Structure 1
Amino acid sequence: MTRILLLGGTGDALRIARQLDSTHVYSLAGLGKVPDDLACAVRVGGFGGSEGMAQYIADERISMVIDATHPYAAQISANAAHASRAAHVPCWALRRPAWQPQAGDDWRMVGNWNELTAALAPFRKPLFTLGREPLAHLDEIPVHQFWTVRCLDPHQDATRARIIATRGPFTLEGERALFALQAFDVVVSKNSGGGATEAKLEVARERRLPVVMLRRPDLPAVDREFDSVDDLLDALRVLA
Structure 2
Amino acid sequence: MSRILVLGGTGEGLALARRLGPDDIYSVAGLGKRPEGLACSVREGGFGGADGLARFIAAAGVDRVIDATHPYAAQISANARHATFATGTALWALRRAAWSAQPGDDWRMVDDWDGIMAAIAPFRRPLFTLGREPLQHLDDIPASQYWTVRCLDARAGTERARVLADRGPFALAAERELFERERFDVIVSKNSGGASTEAKLEVARERGLPVVMLRRPVLPEADRSFRTLEELLSNLP
Please confirm whether the aligned pair reaches a TM-score higher than 0.5, indicating the same fold: yes
User: Which residue of structure 2 lines up, in the alignment, with residue 11 of structure 1?
Assistant: 11
Distance 2:2 2:122 in 1: 54
Q: Could you tell me which residue of structure 2 aligns to residue 64 of structure 1?
A: 64
TM-score by length of 2: 0.99
Name the Cα RMSD after superposition.
0.5
Which stretches of structure 1, 4 residues or longer, exceed 6 Å deviation after superposition?
A: none
The match for 1:219 is 219
Matches of 1:2 and 1:134 in 2, distance apart? 41
CA positional deviation for 1:169: 0.2
* Number of positions where the alignment pairs a residue of Structure 1 with one of Structure 2: 237
Aligned residue for 1:169? 169
Matches of 2:33 and 2:74, distance apart in 1: 21
Aligned to 2:25: 25
SS in 2 for 1:150: strand
In 2, the alpha carbon distance for the partners of 1:90 and 1:62 equals 9
Match of 2:77 in 1: 77
Amino acid at match of 2:33: K
Q: Letter of the aligned partner of 2:211 in structure 1?
A: V
| Corresponding residue for residue 210 of structure 2 | 210
Q: How much does 1:223 deviate?
A: 0.0
The reply to whether residue 137 of structure 1 matches residue 153 of structure 2 is no
Written as runs of structure 1 = structure 2, the 5 A alignment for 1:17-166 is: 17-166=17-166
Indicate the SS of the match to 2:43. Answer: strand
Distance 1:99 1:114 in 2: 23
Q: In 2, Cα distance between the equivalents of 1:7 and 1:235?
A: 18
Q: Give CA-to-partner distance per residue, 1:115-149, whole Å, 9 cap, x none.
A: 11000000000000000000000001000000000
Secondary structure of 2:193's counterpart equals coil
> Structure 1 CA distance, aligned partners of 2:199 and 2:157?
25
Match of 1:187 in 2: 187
The one-letter code sitting in structure 2 at the alignment partner of 1:21 is G
CA displacement at 1:157 relative to structure 2: 1.2
Gaps in structure 2 of 5+ consecutive residues: none
CA-to-aligned-CA distance 1:83-124 (integer Å, 9 cap, x gap): 000010110000010000000000000000001100000000
Q: CA deviation at 1:57?
A: 0.4
How far off is 1:50 after superposition? 0.3
Aligned-residue sequence identity (percent) comes to 63
In structure 1, C-alpha distance between the alignment counterparts of 2:21 and 2:57, rounded to whole Å? 18
- Displacement of 1:2 in angstroms is 2.0
C-alpha distance in 2 between matches for 1:204 and 1:171: 14
What CA distance in whole angstroms lies between the structure 1 residues aligned with 2:204 and 2:36?
36
Alpha-carbon distance in 2 for matches of 1:159, 1:83: 45
- How far has the Cα of 1:155 moved from its partner? 1.2
The alpha carbon displacement at 1:75 in A equals 0.2
User: What secondary structure, in the 3-state scheme, does the structure 2 residue paired with 1:108 have?
Assistant: strand
Specify the code of the residue in structure 2 equivalent to 1:154.
A
Paired residue type of 1:93? A
